Amino acid sequence: MDLFIWSGACSFIANTLIGLFVYTRNPRRPENTLFALFSIAVSGWSVGSTTANIIKNQELALTFVRGHYFFGIWLSPLYLHFIRTLTKSKDRFGRIASQAGLFFSGLLTLALFSPQFIKGLRLIPGTSFRISNPGPIYYAFFLFFAIYMGLVIRELFISLRSNIGISLFQFKCLILANCIAIFAGFEYFSRVFGLFDTPPFDDFILVLYVFVLAFAITRYYLFDLETLTEALHRERLATIGLISASINHEIRNPLFIAKGLLQSHLELHKDRLDPETETALQKSVRQIDRVFDMMQRLKKFTQASTKSISEPGTSQACIKTALEIALEMLLLELSSKKITIEQQIADGLPPVEIDQKELEGAFFNLMLNACQAMPDGGCLGITTQTLKNQIVVEIKDTGQGIERNRQKRIFEPFVSSKGEKGTGLGLYITRQLIENHGGSIRVESTPGLGTTFKLSLKIYSSLPHNGKTTRNESRAIN
């Protein structure tokens, strides 16, 4: 039994260290701070089982136990706030519940040292282990705790269903962590209410709970694992930068000459050119300008920096225009491979927070990949959907698909499924563009059936829009 008496102290040390470790990895991220506060709250509550049994004076031990419940009272709304921050939740009910939880925790705190909350301490039959003897307000605390654990799981399902905030892997890990927490809570409260007279296994379970929770959120950079991965690639990116600089130097001059010749021809012979030829020459000049722009972007991306070309929050883009331009650039590719296009693009979409040319480049890259995955023809599907402050764009192909073991790495630099034809930088650059502007990108693929890329783009402002009417098209490029 001595081991169990010190179980609360073990939980306190382990959970506090996990929380502080996460915080020191990146103190500027709110997720890190909230996770650290949550871990300390778990630690502060769990250590009460030790103080209740090592302090011999009954009244003094009771005072300490009541003090430790301060952490338990504030744990529920803090945990809900942490999960909402982690999943970037915009759910209005969840926000109201989080605020109401803080208010209710304040009311419970007022009754903390009252016998109505905890009457005293009692011995578990057959042991020398003391535990709380609940008062009537304690049952309200238990109900409050159970409801807010349910609200946490609700937030996780909302985030998964909206395809924003967490991936399926993270969802499974977070659900596992919450199942562990529910089991620990059941074991603890059943002992407090006298349903079972078991030793305090919950303190050890809580250590596992916090550890699994920390593991589940590594994808949100709490441990900066992806930052470390990026650092490993910087040397290779710098090498690519030197190569791209020399290529830029060799290509830029001939392109300037070609552009100059085209512009001169347009200016000197504009009166004698038929409209079709004039339009073709003007398009050629615009495409040369696009090449210059792409060369400049490649140069910036290969300077071992993960920052976006445009600063977040300063640019806005039109999704419909970006999709149309990307499709126009791919007309020849679509026609030659007999690829049909199916579009479901909502009318009146609001602007999104990203540079227009960056968004065009992202769409072009994803559509080009889709075309290359359908060498014998197929269907390119494009759909949009407005979800609160996000617009989700899906680009789907009916091509070869991506093997499951490769899906986890397709956004890493220098990883390509095209063999020697691919650089492995396209999807990496696209992800950087989207994420640096508060968005996200994920992939779903089934080998032999096709691939879907889902881009979640942050709406630039709260401008009124009407996204209910959709335009459906299905046409073949001949």
Q: What is the CATH number of the domain that holds 341?
A: 3.30.565.10
pLDDT at 221: 47
pLDDT at 478: 35
Extract the tokens encoding 54.
């090592």
Extract the tokens encoding 248.
């830029």
Q: Which residue has the higher pLDDT, 418 or 308?
A: 418
pLDDT at 1: 46
pLDDT per position as a tens digit, 362-406: 898 899 889 988 988 999 999 999 887 889 999 999 998 888 777
Please give the distance of CA 405 from its chain centroid, rounded to a whole number. 21
pLDDT per position as a tens digit, 302-350: 553 444 445 555 678 899 999 998 888 788 788 888 899 999 888 888 8
Residues 6+ apart with CB under 8 A from 388: 90, 162
Question: Do 372 and 446 have their domain in common?
Answer: yes
Question: Do 122 and 196 have their domain in common?
Answer: yes
pLDDT at 163: 54
Q: Which residue has the higher pLDDT, 234 or 69?
A: 69
Q: Is residue 230 part of a domain?
A: no
Span 272-280, average pLDDT: 83
Q: Which of 306, 331, 349 is the last residue of a domain?
A: 306
pLDDT per position as a tens digit, 233-271: 554 555 555 556 556 656 766 777 787 788 888 888 877
Looking up residue 36, the CATH number of its domain turns out to be 1.20.1070
With a cut of 50, say whether residue 467 has pLDDT above it: no
Cβ–Cβ < 8 Å for 365, 324:
no
- List the single range of 203-207, 300-304, 342-346, 437-441 with lowest mean pLDDT: 300-304
pLDDT at 138: 93
Q: Which of 306, 336, 365 is the last residue of a domain?
A: 306
Span 411-432, average pLDDT: 63
Q: Which strand (E) or helix (H) includes residue 470?
A: strand 470-476
pLDDT at 357: 83
Helices 136-161/92-110 angle, 10° precision: 160
Q: Which residue has the higher pLDDT, 435 or 252?
A: 435
Q: Is residue 411 part of a domain?
A: yes
Average pLDDT, the chain: 78
Question: The dihedral of CA 286, 439, 331, 469: what is its sign?
Answer: negative
pLDDT at 340: 92
For the chain, the maximum distance between any two Cα atoms, rounded to a whole number of angstroms, is: 106
Question: Do 289 and 342 have their domain in common?
Answer: no
Residues 6+ apart with CB under 8 A from 221: 26, 29, 227
Span 297-304, average pLDDT: 54
Question: Do 386 and 333 have their domain in common?
Answer: yes
Q: Is residue 431 part of a domain?
A: yes
Q: Which of 306, 330, 355 is the last residue of a domain?
A: 306
Question: Do 278 and 402 have their domain in common?
Answer: no
Question: Do 29 and 62 have their domain in common?
Answer: yes
With a cut of 60, say whether residue 151 has pLDDT above it: yes
Phi, psi of 183 (to 5 degrees): -65, -45
With a cut of 50, say whether residue 460 has pLDDT above it: yes
pLDDT per position as a tens digit, 92-146: 898 899 999 999 999 999 999 999 999 988 887 777 778 888 999 999 999 999 9
Question: Do 285 and 358 have their domain in common?
Answer: no
Span 469-474, average pLDDT: 40
- List the single range of 3-17, 25-39, 176-190 with lowest mean pLDDT: 3-17
**Which one, of 187, 191, 184, 128, lies nearest residue 2 by Cα?**
128
Q: What is the percentage of the chain residues whose pLDDT exceeds 90?
A: 16
The DSSP bridge pattern shows strands 440-446 and 118-123 to be unpaired
Of the pLDDT bands very low, low, confident and very high (cuts 50, 70, 90), residue 426 is confident
pLDDT at 73: 92
Neighbours of 445 (CB within 10 A): 22
- List the single range of 53-62, 92-101, 425-434 with lowest mean pLDDT: 425-434
Domain ranges, residue 135: 2-223
Cβ–Cβ < 8 Å for 35, 222:
yes
Question: Do 99 and 135 have their domain in common?
Answer: yes
Residues 137, 121: Cα–Cα separation, whole Å = 16
What are the Cα distances from residue 259, in Å, to 187, 249, 280, 331, 365?
Answer: 75, 16, 13, 22, 24
Question: Do 104 and 244 have their domain in common?
Answer: no
pLDDT at 296: 67
Bridge partners (DSSP) of residue 443 are 453
With a cut of 70, say whether residue 361 has pLDDT above it: yes
Rg of the Cα trace of the chain? 29
What are the Cα distances from residue 415, in Å, to 167, 302, 395, 407, 454?
Answer: 21, 16, 20, 11, 20
Burial (CB < 10 A; 0-12, 13-18, 19+), residue 473, is exposed
With a cut of 90, say whether residue 433 has pLDDT above it: no
Of the pLDDT bands very low, low, confident and very high (cuts 50, 70, 90), residue 473 is very low
| 21 CB-side CA count, 13 A | 12
Question: Do 315 and 434 have their domain in common?
Answer: yes
Tell me how many domains the chain contains. Answer: 3
Of the pLDDT bands very low, low, confident and very high (cuts 50, 70, 90), residue 422 is very low
Cβ–Cβ < 8 Å for 373, 451:
yes
Question: Do 164 and 16 have their domain in common?
Answer: yes
**Which one, of 88, 78, 74, lies nearest residue 170 by Cα?**
88
With a cut of 60, say whether residue 471 has pLDDT above it: no
Q: Is residue 186 part of a domain?
A: yes
The DSSP bridge pattern shows strands 339-346 and 378-387 to be parallel
Question: Do 282 and 359 have their domain in common?
Answer: no
Residues 177, 170: Cα–Cα separation, whole Å = 10
pLDDT at 167: 64
Q: Which residue has the higher pLDDT, 385 or 474?
A: 385
**Which one, of 471, 238, 260, lies nearest residue 346 by Cα?**
471
